[in-house]
Amino acid sequence: MDLVIIAIVLGALGLLVALAQQLQKQSKAKLHAKPLLSRPEQVLFHRLREALPEYEVLAQVSFSQFIRAKGDTRKENWRRFAMARQKVADFVICNPDFSVLAVVELDDRSHRRGKDQKRDALLAEAGIPCHRWHVKRMPSGEQIRSVVLPEMTPGGAGVKHEPAPVGTTDSANQVSS
């Protein structure tokens, strides 16, 4: 009887392996490289670099690279970290030693206020200021310096929503306090 069970298990494993190999062969989907940043993100990236030449500007950085949880049980720390680890910041502004000073987000129609508020709350909890601009109201270099620099101080975290363009009703850009 033991041999029958072993034979059935081995047969089932063999079928699963064969099925997995067959599924991989049938897929016509191919992976292709794509630009890291959209056109508007490229514009803002270059403006950030020009406006903040004394700082490092990084693009598309996973929250897991600059946020961690500590101070509770291992399980609770992992739970808190799991809330942040799959999120990605559009831009991270750092000191030359790569310590994080601020996050900059470029909002477009794909952004949802509820999700953005949760992301912003995680950043605020970590003490990282977050600045948001709407793609239709791209800041100049001067605006970037005047808004971002004053907030890049230890403990000076806050979420800064820049006003939406006049005549729009994009709720992602309403000022929150």
Chain centre distance of CA 12: 41
Q: What is the pLDDT of residue 153?
A: 56
Amino acid at 96: P
Amino acid at 168: T
Give the whole-angstrom CA distance, residue 9 versus residue 166.
67
At 16-61, the pLDDT tens digits run 777 767 666 677 788 999 999 999 999 999 999 999 999 999 999 9
Examine the pLDDT at 1 and tell me if it is beyond 80.
Answer: no
Please give the model's pTM, rounded to 2 decimal places: 0.69
Examine the pLDDT at 162 and tell me if it is beyond 60.
Answer: no
SS3 call for 62: strand
Give the whole-angstrom CA distance, residue 115 versus residue 121.
10
* Angle, vertex CA 19, rays to CA 15 and CA 23, nearest 5: 175
Give the whole-angstrom CA distance, residue 135 versus residue 62.
21
Give the whole-angstrom CA distance, residue 55 versus residue 39.
22
Domain ranges of the chain: 39-173
At 121-146, the pLDDT tens digits run 999 999 999 999 999 999 999 999 99
Sheet of 130-134, strands arranged across: 56-62, 88-94, 100-107, 130-134, 159-161
Give the whole-angstrom CA distance, residue 48 versus residue 42.
10
Q: How far is CA 146 from CA 46, 57, 85, 141, in A?
A: 17, 17, 30, 9
Please tell me the total number of residues recorded for the chain in this structure.
177
